[in-house]
C-alpha cells in the first residue's frame, strides 16, 4: 500500500544503526519479506507502550523484527521461531552481531510441528508473521501461552493490498491463502474474548487484546 502520506511519514523515520540498515538492504536485495519500515516503527512504538517482558514471534526470517524488538525494549526477552534452514543461518548470524544477542532465542523448526519443543510460556506478546494461510492455526496453538495481559499482533493482514480486492481479481495461486487470511481476520474481529483493531500501517497490523486484561487494567 503506497500512499503519498506513507512516503511522507516514512521519510520522517530517523536512520537506523548501520547493522540494521544492512539487514534492510539485504532484505531488499534478496527479496526477504521483512516488516515494512513504517509498520515496524509503529509496532515498536506500541510495544514500548505495552512493555512486554517476553515476546514470542512466529516467523523470524533473517531476524530483523526480532532484533529490532529486542533492541527497542531493553530487558525484554524475544523467542522467535523459523522453519527454513537458510533463514535460520542468516538469523543466527545477525542475532550474533546484535547488541541484544543474549535476549533473543531462535527456535529452529516448523511452529506447527514443535511438539515437545514448544517454547515455555507465558508470553506478554505474540507476534504472528509467518505463513499467511496458517494464522488461525498459529493462534489456536500459541494463544494459550499468553499471560493475562497478553497482546497478539498479526502482520500482513492486507496481504499487499490483495485482501481488499475483489476475489476474482486475485491471482488464482493466491486465492486460497487470501481466503483463509480474510476468514481469520473476520473471525478474530468477532472473537468474544478479544478486542481487535486492524491498523492500516505497513501491510496491515492487527492488534488484539484479551478482554480480561482490560478488566484488570493491566495492559498499559
With respect to ligand SAH, which residue has the nearer C-beta, 89 or 216? 89
**Three-state secondary-structure class, residue 18:** helix
Whether residue 40 is annotated as binding a ligand: the answer is no
Contacts of 166 (CB under 8 A, 6+ apart): none
Part of the chain binding ligand SAH (CB under 6 A), chosen from 28-36, 94-102, 143-151, 191-199:
28-36
- Answer for which of 42, 47, 56, 61 binds ligand SAH (CB under 6 A) is 61
Q: Residue 156 binds what, of ligand SAH, Mg ion, none (CB under 5 to 8 Å, by partner type)?
A: Mg ion
- Report residue 157: phi and psi, to 5°: -70, -15
In angstroms, give the least distance from the CB of 182 to ligand SAH. Answer: 18
- Answer for which of 76, 79, 83, 106 binds ligand SAH (CB under 6 A) is 83
Contact between 202 and ligand SAH per CB under 6 A: no
Helix or strand holding residue 69 (H, E): helix 64-72
| Pick from 207, 68, 110: nearest CA to 151 | 207
Give the C-alpha separation, 114 to 75, whole Å: 26
Helix or strand holding residue 183 (H, E): helix 172-189
Q: Residue 131 binds what, of ligand SAH, Mg ion, none (CB under 5 to 8 Å, by partner type)?
A: ligand SAH
Quick check: bond before 25 cis, omega within 30? no
Residues in contact with ligand SAH by the rule CB under 6 A: 33-35, 59, 61, 64-65, 81-84, 87, 110-112, 129-131, 134
Annotated binding residues for S-adenosyl-L-methionine, written as ranges, equal 35, 65, 82, 110-111, 129
Amino acid at each position: 500500500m503506497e500512499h503519498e502520506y506513507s512516503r511522507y511519514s516514512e521519510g520522517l523515520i530517523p536512520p537506523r544503526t548501520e547493522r540494521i540498515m544492512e539487514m534492510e538492504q539485504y532484505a531488499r536485495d534478496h527479496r526477504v519479506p521483512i516488516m515494512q519500515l513504517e509498520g515496524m516503527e509503529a509496532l515498536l512504538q506500541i510495544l514500548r507502550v505495552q512493555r512486554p517482558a517476553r515476546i514470542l514471534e512466529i516467523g523470524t526470517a533473517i531476524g530483523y523484527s526480532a532484533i529490532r524488538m529486542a533492541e527497542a525494549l531493553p530487558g525484554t526477552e524475544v523467542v522467535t521461531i523459523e522453519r527454513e534452514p537458510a533463514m535460520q543461518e542468516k538469523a543466527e548470524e545477525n542475532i550474533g552481531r546484535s547488541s541484544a544477542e543474549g535476549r533473543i532465542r531462535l527456535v529452529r523448526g516448523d511452529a506447527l510441528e514443535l511438539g515437545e519443543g514448544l517454547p515455555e510460556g507465558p508470553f506478554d506478546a505474540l507476534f504472528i508473521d509467518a505463513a499467511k494461510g496458517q494464522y488461525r492455526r498459529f493462534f489456536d496453538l500459541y494463544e494459550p501461552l499468553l499471560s493475562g495481559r497478553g497482546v497478539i499482533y498479526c502482520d500482513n493482514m492486507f496481504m499487499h493490498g490483495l485482501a481488499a480486492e475483489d476475489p476474482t481479481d486475485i491471482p488464482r495461486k493466491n486465492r486460497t491463502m487470501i481466503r483463509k487470511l480474510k476468514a481469520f481476520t473476520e473471525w478474530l474481529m468477532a472473537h468474544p474474548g478479544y478486542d481487535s483493531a486492524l491498523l492500516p500501517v505497513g501491510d496491515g497490523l492487527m492488534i488484539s487484546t484479551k478482554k480480561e486484561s482490560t478488566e484488570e487494567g493491566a495492559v498499559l
